[in-house]
Amino acid sequence: MKKSIVVATGILALLSAGPLVAGDAAAGKAKSATCAACHGPTGISINPMWPSLAGQQEVYLAKQMTAFRDGARSDPMMGPMAAALSDADIADLAAFYAAQSCK
């Protein structure tokens, strides 16, 4: 009985985690021009007010962008930037930034 509860809980966690589709880093690079203004062309920000995205985990990046887009996470600058992103855009951008070196 306990094992089935653990399995069910795990399945529910995966289903609620958001999109798990792997993105296309090359497509993400092409889509990142607007992001580069604050986060740098390779995801390394030169301003401490804006986080560096390079080298972050792809799932984390996708989850955060989705949260900004859907209003679950609020920020006056990121909310409008993420509002027009599709799930594919988010996956591609996440793949691009995750593939970048953080150094």
**What is the predicted pLDDT for the residue at 43?**
97
pLDDT means over runs of 10, the chain (103 residues): 58 51 92 96 95 97 98 96 97 98 87
* The pLDDT value given to residue 103: 77
Q: Which two tokens stand for residue 26?
A: 């090359």
If DSSP states are collapsed to H, E and C, what string results for 21-86? CCCCHHHHHHHCHHHHHHHCCCCCCCCCCCCCCCCCCHHHHHHHHHHHHHCCCCCCCHHHHHHCCC
pLDDT computed for residue 35 by the predictor: 96
Question: To which CATH superfamily is domain 2-99 assigned?
Answer: Cytochrome c-like domain (1.10.760.10)
- Residue 67 vs residues 30, 36, 62, 83: alpha-carbon distances, Å: 22, 20, 8, 10
pTM value is 0.80
What was the pLDDT predicted at 20? 56
Cα separations in angstroms, 91 against 10, 65, 76, 87? 22, 9, 22, 6
